[in-house]
């Protein structure tokens, strides 16, 4: 019982504390707060500058809609009553706000900027059918509601990256000069070493040639295998 009374006292204290706070809610639509610059809440169909309908019935917005809330009845190509040129028209255009996710993809793909979003939301309704925007209501929103900042031309211009600048052909760079040799390397290539003039040194396993003592003296022939050098008579001793 004690815990119940303490919990009730805390709840009443919270209620009395918030009772004196200034309310932060407003009664919509009697009071409408300022919206952000990119606030989007509804849709509108536009006319051309000459007064002709901008929608050509290409069905691109109907195909790209992820919620499939757009239904268009294309009227085919016929002669325009204003310009006299043959162009496409839409006989019916229906957009259901009950399932719309406000992704704005239908605005981005429109080739003629015919559909845009508006900054003012639709009035509260008591039935689902009141949130279905028919073709007449979409064209009425063009004059009765303020347009959002974006249309297909602006949105696509922000998403498509700019083309890289053209690179002009540059002249061939001059050949790089060879690096100058260092002082030690230059001295080694120009001045020979003291032992270079005497020729290569004999290896350890080869005997140096013996120069004769006089011009007429003959060199001593090597002894035959297993014998002594030849004597004056040309015979060897065994």
Cα angle: 40, vertex 45, 46; to 5 degrees: 110
**pLDDT at residue 173 is higher than 90:** no
Cα–Cα distance measured from residue 225 to residue 2, given in angstroms and rounded to the nearest whole number? 133
CATH class of the domain at 40-155 = alpha beta
Q: How is residue 108 written in tokens?
A: 């981005």
Closest by CA to 58, choosing from 112, 128, 123, is 112
Please provide the average confidence, as pLDDT, over all residues in the chain: 78
The more confident residue out of 229 and 11 is 11
pLDDT for 225 beyond 90: no
- What is the structure's pLDDT at 214? 47
Report DSSP letters for 155-206, one per residue: HHHHHSPPPPPPPPPPPPPPPPPPPPPPHHHHHHHHSPPTTSTT-PPPPTTS
Q: Which residue has the tokens 């004999």?
A: 202
CA distances from residue 147 to 54, 62, 103, 115, 173 in whole angstroms, order as listed: 15, 21, 16, 10, 57
> Quick check: 168 pLDDT over 80?
no
- Where does the chain have alpha helices with state H? 2-19, 60-64, 105-108, 135-144, 152-159, 183-190
Q: State pLDDT tens for residues 26-47.
A: 887 788 888 888 889 899 999 9
Q: Tell me the average pLDDT across 143-147.
A: 90
Neighbours of 55 (CB within 10 A): 24
Higher per-residue pLDDT: 171 or 114: 114
Nearest to 78 by CA among 60, 109, 57: 57
Spans of all domains in the chain: 40-155
> Is residue 106 scored above 90 in pLDDT?
yes
């Amino acid at each position: 019982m004690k815990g119940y009374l303490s919990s009730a006292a805390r709840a009443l204290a919270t209620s009395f504390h918030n009772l004196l706070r200034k309310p932060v809610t407003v009664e919509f639509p009697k009071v409408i707060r300022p919206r952000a610059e990119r606030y989007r809440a509804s849709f509108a169909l536009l006319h051309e500058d000459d007064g002709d309908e901008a929608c050509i019935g290409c069905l691109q917005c109907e195909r790209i809609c992820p919620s499939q809330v757009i239904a268009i009845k294309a009227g085919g190509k016929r002669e325009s009553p204003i310009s006299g040129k043959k162009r496409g028209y839409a006989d019916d255009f229906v957009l259901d706000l009950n399932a719309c996710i406000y992704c704005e993809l239908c605005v981005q793909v429109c080739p003629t900027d015919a559909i845009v979003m508006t900054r003012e939301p639709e009035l509260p309704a008591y039935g689902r059918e009141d949130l279905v925007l028919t073709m007449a209501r979409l064209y009425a929103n063009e004059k009765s509601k303020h347009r959002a900042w974006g249309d297909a031309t602006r949105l696509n211009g922000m998403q498509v990256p700019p083309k890289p600048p053209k690179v002009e052909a540059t002249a061939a760079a001059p050949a790089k000069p060879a690096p100058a040799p260092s002082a030690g390397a230059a001295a080694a290539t120009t001045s020979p070493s003291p032992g270079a003039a005497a020729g290569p040194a004999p290896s350890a396993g080869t005997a140096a040639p013996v120069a004769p003592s006089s011009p007429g003296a003959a060199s001593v022939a090597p002894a035959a295998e297993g014998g002594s050098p030849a004597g004056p008579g040309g015979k060897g001793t065994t």
